[in-house]
Amino acid sequence: MSKAFTLIELLAVTAIITLLSAIVMPSYRDSNKHLALQRSASKLAQDLRRTQEMAMSAKEVSEVIPYGFGIDFKNSWPDYYILFADLNNNHHRDAADQDMETIKLESKIKISNLSPVSFFSVVFAPPDPITWINDSSSGVEAQITLNIDGSTDNQTIFVNNAGLISTD
């Protein structure tokens, strides 16, 4: 008696593996996109917290202690945001400030919505730090919504004037 597989058994196993792969692959791709969205939202929240810590620690920039550190957002920049040092104490990014880092989002992840307006800066000013959103230090909450390009799946990051940073 032979202990080998027959051609029919090999074809049956191959068909089962092909069928299972066809079922699993589409959900695998979707979960990868969703995971990229979650990673990008976590990275943005982490960058906001890092900016807040830089303000609290009075980090020097070009041998000067800035009035604060912030992140600048614009709808016209859907795939990145800029971390900067506020050198002129105006609580938003302008030509007098120093850009420290341009942070690019993951592939196919975009900033789809900004609130309260289509462009603003979130600036943390020492020593507490005071949180400035759109040049206001009270009564404002910023919302940065990220989504997967061409999808309705999104993540929103919230920042309020108390310095609380959360994701939804």
Q: Residue 138 falls within a domain, yes or no?
A: yes
Q: Residue 2 falls within a domain, yes or no?
A: no
Q: What is the tally of structural domains in the chain?
A: 1
Greater confidence (128 vs 159) lies with 159
Q: Residue 59 falls within a domain, yes or no?
A: yes
- Of the candidates 46, 53, 57, 131, the one whose C-alpha atom is nearest the C-alpha of residue 81 is 46
Q: Residue 1 falls within a domain, yes or no?
A: no
- The pLDDT assigned to 168 comes to 86
The DSSP symbol for 62 reads: T
CATH of the domain at 95: 3.55.40.10
- The pLDDT assigned to 72 comes to 97
- The pLDDT assigned to 2 comes to 67
Q: Residue 116 falls within a domain, yes or no?
A: yes
pLDDT tens digits, one per residue of 107-124: 899 999 999 999 999 999
Q: Residue 131 falls within a domain, yes or no?
A: yes
Quickly list DSSP for 102-159. EEEPPTTEEEEEEESSSEEEEEEETTTTEEEETTBSSS-EEEEEEEETTSS-EEEEEE
Q: Residue 110 falls within a domain, yes or no?
A: yes
pLDDT tens digits, one per residue of 50-99: 999 999 998 888 888 999 999 999 999 999 999 999 999 999 999 999 99
Greater confidence (21 vs 79) lies with 79
Q: Residue 111 falls within a domain, yes or no?
A: yes
Residue 15 is part of which domain span? 7-167
